[in-house]
Copies of this chain bind each other. A is one copy, B any other.
Amino acid sequence: MALSDWLLGRRLATLEEEHQRVGVLAGIPMLGLDALASAAYGPEAALTLLIPLGIGGVHYIGPITWLIIALLLIVYFSYRQTIAAYPLGGGSYTVAKDNLGTAAGLLAAAALMLDYVLVVAVGVSAGIGALVSAEPRLQPYTLTLCLATLVLITIVNLRGVRESGMAFVIPTYLFVASLMGVLAIGIVKTAAAGGHPEPVVPPPVMPSAATAASLWLLMRAFASGCTAMTGVEAVSNGVSAFRDPAVHHARRTLTAIIAILAVLLAGIAFLCRAYGIGATEPGQPGYESILSQLVAAVIGKGVAYYITIGSILAVLALSANTGFADFPRLCRVIAQDGFLPSAFAHRGRRLVYSHGILVLAVLSGGLLVFFRGITDSLIPLFAVGAFLAFTLSQAGMVEHWRKVGGPHAVHSMAINGLGAACTGVTLAVVLVSKFTEGAWVTVLLIPALLLVFLGVRAHYRHVAHEVVTDAPLDAQHLEPPIALLPIRGWSAITRKALRFALKITPDVYALHIAGDERTVLDLEDTWAERVREPAQAAGVPAPRLIVIFDPFRQLYRSLMQVVSDLQRAHPGRDLAVIVPELVGTRWYHYLLHNQTAAVIKAYLLFSGLRRVVVINVPWYLAD
């Protein structure tokens, strides 16, 4: 049935269960795409901070990049251990909750949720940044393009996307190959030119220095550049996706990803310095991304340029897409622990899974609008979330080894401890240096999320306490309900609903709100002939007709009045309001009907009246 498929989406099959157990080569795109895509915005984020230093600022990108690569290696050794310790997958939430307790787990969860929102927002905005660099006439439409891309990704995810290997494999390897190729050519050219290569397309001239370098400025540039490390935790989350021996394959995949990322970062930094490439003012006319400048300087704006930029765009869009895969999964885990509405926890139909997708789309869309689709403005928020999750995960591992004990525990604790300390210090640097630039948003959002988590659990506990009972079924005095059926006139729908009412109770009332007196007389005649007579002939108590005259035909007010009158007339009896509901054969029929049924139900349930049961009798439209 077309409607059901459209509305609910085809079944997810057993996507969640069926692991496509992969090896290293397939694992790199599947779990490394996010981390590798960071190379497209991390160096740029650092260089943007160096703009005020003019051409001199480019010299600092070297040391900053080496510091980031050193941090990356520390985190690498730390995550190698997480992989071994959590072969079923050790996300930050799991590791922090298992080892540091619920509070730390929730803190990690809040950081991760923020992180996924930013993976989407930054992926989209950096992708569009690549696009407007290649096609500067699109620059004024940055935000519109970002939102359109977000809507597209959201729809694709709502409709259901199979994480087909190929969709990730080709763009990832194309991205790595083309960027590595450009870097290799650039390095050869630089060496051949004795360190001062001639750019094919000269990068925009950098403004002269507006300020001198300061430790504060370099610290902020480092903090921004750290976003190049986002996404490296994915492998430790997904160990169970690997072929046996899973830990071995996962570790080799992580090694490959970190190595590629480090080479890309080092190469970009080296060539920026050699070619004198600096960032351009984000969101302003004339903006061109670092990678676009670099590729154009090394190989010119030919076909290879467009292939490289195209692969960057694809990888960034796919990295946004991984946010859509991870966020609902995280929400489900949190909801299963009772900290988010149970709607997030359902298995099965896509309809329930889609809550997470929609929440994510709305949040990232809000960030994109608020920051006008400019990657650079989103970077401070991104860095906080990512490093908070890193730190909690590593700290959790320290505690894990303390509990496990054994001969290697001290060694392992030291490695994870170093990771936790370094990422923790970086987190502090990011928080302090980026506070006024946007990190303050995270300082509000994360505690707000924690409050939501705790509030949700408190509510569920309260409800559970309220409905728990040992009392057995009360099967005494089972009187049938009073049925009340609002009708518009005599139709096949009325006839079917009335018949159903008579099946469940002998006490049936129909309610009609009449706008004029002629209708009243007509309907009363019809009722006598088509309802009362056949009922009496069949020996069944005849349904009674209540007609209320109201020129404004205000259904809801009259319905409430009749409901409360009937309740008073029949104390102790349940009142069942029977609402016929048209069920269409096309999705858009839903827009044309069903409103009355839904409104009546909402009205009855929320009106404060008790003892009202709502019965939906469907009427199926023919095709």
Contacts and interface: CB of A to CB of B under 8 A. Distances in A.
Given A7-B602, A469-B492, A610 B620 contact: yes
Interface centre among A4, A576, A616 (most CB of B within 10 A): A616
Interface string A345-361: 01111011001000000
Contacts of A619: 467
Interface stretch (A44-52, A516-524, A553-561): A553-561
Contacts of A470: 530
Contacts of A468: 491-492
A376 to B, nearest CB: 13
A531 to B, nearest CB: 5
B556 A143 contact: no
B592 A618 contact: no
Interface stretch (A259-267, A428-436, A477-485): A477-485
A552 B606 contact: no
A615 B613 contact: yes
A283 interface: yes
Contact of A473 (B349, B530, B615): B530
A484 to B, nearest CB: 14
Interface string A423-458: 000000000000000000000000000000000100
A143 B372 contact: yes
B456 A469 contact: no
A555 B504 CA distance: 27
Interface string A118-158: 00000000000000000000001101100100000000000
A60 interface: no
Interface in A14-39: 17
Contact of A502 (B346, B475, B498, B531): B475
Given A3-B606, A349-B599, A504-B504, A491 B479 contact: no
Contacts of A3: 606
Given A468-B492, A493-B467, A534-B474, A147 B499 contact: no
B612 A618 contact: yes
A144 B372 contact: yes
A367 to B, nearest CB: 11
Given A341-B591, A469-B490, A283 B140 contact: yes
A533 interface: yes
A475 B369 contact: no
A163 interface: no
A8 interface: yes
Contacts of A141: 372
A166 interface: no
A535 B475 CA distance: 6
Interface stretch (A99-107, A172-180, A232-240, A581-589): A581-589
A136 to B, nearest CB: 15
A617 B610 contact: no
A333 interface: no
Contact of A574 (B498, B503, B574): B503
Interface in A506-540: 529-531, 533-535, 537-538, 540
Given A355-B595, A468-B492, 19 more contacts: A1-B608, A141-B372, A143-B372, A349-B599, A352-B595, A466-B492, A467-B491, A472-B529, A472-B533, A473-B495, A473-B534, A474-B499, A476-B538, A478-B538, A481-B503, A583-B606, A613-B615, A614-B616, A616-B616
16 contacts: A4-B606, A4-B608, A8-B606, A144-B372, A342-B593, A347-B553, A459-B592, A468-B492, A469-B490, A469-B491, A469-B492, A471-B495, A475-B540, A478-B503, A500-B613, A605-B616
Interface of A: 1, 3-4, 7-8, 17, 140-141, 143-144, 147, 283, 341-343, 346-349, 351-352, 355, 369-370, 372, 456, 459-460, 463, 466-476, 478-481, 490-493, 495, 498-500, 502-505, 529-531, 533-535, 537-538, 540, 543, 552-557, 574, 576, 581-583, 589, 591-593, 595-596, 599, 601-603, 605-608, 610, 612-622
